[in-house]
Amino acid sequence: MGGIIDSIRSSGVVGAGGAGFPTHVKLDTNAEVIIVNAAECEPLLRVDQQLCQRYALELVRTLKTLMAVVGAEQGYFGIKKKYGPAVTALQKAIDSEGLSNNIKIFLLKDFYPAGDEQVLVYEITGRAVPEGGIPLMVGTVVVNVETLLNIYFALNFNNPVTEKYVTVTGAVSRPQTLKVPLGVNLSFLLELVGGTTVFPFAVIDGGPLMGNVIKDKDKFFVTKTTKGIIILPEDHPLILAKNQALQVSLHQARSACCQCVACTEICPRFLLGHNLQPHKTMLSISYLNLASAKGLTQSFLCSQCGLCDLYACPMGLSPRKVNQFLQQQLREQKVKNPHQRKDLTPPSFREYRKVPGKRIIERWGLAKWDVESPLKEDSLKAQEVSLSLKQHIGAPAIPVVEKGEKVEKGQLIGKAPENTLGANIHASISGIVKSRDESVIVIQSI
């Protein structure tokens, strides 16, 4: 099986769902179960469900291969029941391959964050991942749909990762899911969807809850972890909430938290039995000296899902931003996460605290943009791409090309450092290296 791992490594496959963890490292192990994360729980995004529908057979066959690699007897596609065409395509592929005993579809309800790794593992296996832990601790490996498809192309065609599927939606003329070269800019994406329908506009990189507002639109380039681009009016309430300064959030936490516990009662980590209670963090921050934040280590357990501030809090406060701030403070003080309990017992009311995706859409006035985004795989030729050498968790790739050098699409241009967590980077178009430094390689088409 070493050859398979080597192919995945050389092709630069990383987690395409947002984390960017090098996939060859994740699969170099033994596990009882592999779960394909097809939940796609963030509203408005469409990539994974569309790939499941179009590439069902390829995905099923690749999952079978990976099960053999890690020694897993059981594989699952964790997908929302409401994605009917994708579910039908996957089941047809599973049946046609005679794999119904080993590969199953687990139908998820429409709640957020169903696609969180730890939530997904518990929903499908009933196993609670330990605090601060990873799915492998309970015998499970989780891979994203697009990651699985990238593995298929790596193993069957020796294709490195040079392209990305991105849903471009919101206030645009033609919402679509696009297949584009890595490194294309925002203007390229907007041209493909007919431009924006509002001005001035703001851009969210990712989903409405966990995505970040792009501060400098001219410096945005698609990477291996880009999943969605959402265009909204600049004065949209969601944009204003995301742009609220950290110091304002800290001041509000001290002055306005009424300890209603709404944030805690729907916190996905708390509902898995973790010792994370955001309302207590909000209370404690009013009294503790932030120069010594050791008493607030539960912030390490926050997954940054955004439910506490973008859905639960009646006062519009942001426990999530407070937790972000505390995590940074703790790391600067070299404090490690002390929360590692394994004997987790999810509360009995967990099932009744799940937040439906529709409620989030209604809460933030996104209904008019919750539309189909048809998959389009033939796009315009990119004239220039800017390829970051760090599109993944770990060390940046080391450039192996020089300015002025001619490169071909798929050619290795950034090599992962030896004996270090990292991933290779390949040219996404053919052309000339226009510029090169230790962080970005720019290629211009010829």
Distance from C-alpha of 238 to C-alpha of 215, rounded to nearest angstrom: 15
Among candidate residues 197, 189, 192, 191, the one with its CA nearest the CA of residue 173:
197
Task: Inform me whether the pLDDT recorded for 385 exceeds 80.
Answer: yes
**Preceding omega of 417 cis (within 30 degrees of 0):** no
Span of 336-340, 379-383, 399-403, 413-417 with lowest mean pLDDT: 379-383
pLDDT tens digits, one per residue of 82-111: 999 999 999 999 999 999 999 999 999 999
Domain ranges of the chain: 2-157, 163-243+365-380, 252-347, 383-446
Local structure of residue 14 (DSSP, 8 states): B
Tokens of residue 271, six digits: 């509902």
The reported pLDDT for the residue numbered 117 is: 96
Using the predicted structure, report yes or no on whether residue 249 has a pLDDT greater than 90: no
Output the pLDDT for position 290.
55
Of 3.40.50.970, 1.10.760.10, 1.25.40.10, 2.40.50.100, the CATH number of 383-446 is: 2.40.50.100
CATH class of 163-243+365-380: alpha beta
C-alpha 422/C-alpha 417 separation (Å) is 7
Residue 251: band (very low, low, confident or very high) from pLDDT cuts 50, 70, 90: confident
Q: Which amino acid is at 80?
A: K
**256 contact partners, CB below 8 Å, separation of at least 6:** 315, 317
pLDDT of residue 252: 87
- Residue 50: pLDDT over 90: yes
What pLDDT, on the 0 to 100 scale, is given for residue 289?
57
Q: Do domains 2-157 and 383-446 have the same CATH topology?
A: no
C-alpha torsion sign, points 244, 265, 42, 366: negative
pLDDT digits (tens, 9 = 90+) for 4-45: 999 999 999 999 987 899 999 999 999 999 999 999 999 999
Q: Residue type for 294, please?
A: K
Rounded average pLDDT over 45-56: 98
- Cβ–Cβ < 8 Å for 320, 283: no
Structure tokens at 329: 């403070």
Task: Give the number of other Cβ atoms within 10 Å of residue 49's Cβ.
Answer: 24
**H-helix segments, 43-166:** 47-54, 56-70, 84-96, 117-125, 145-157
Output the CATH code of domain 2-157.
Answer: 3.40.50.11540
**Residue 27 C-alpha from the chain's centroid:** 18
Per the structure block, which two tokens stand in for 128?
A: 């609670």
Q: Model-level pTM?
A: 0.96
Residue pair 433/443 in contact (Cβ under 8 Å)? The answer is yes
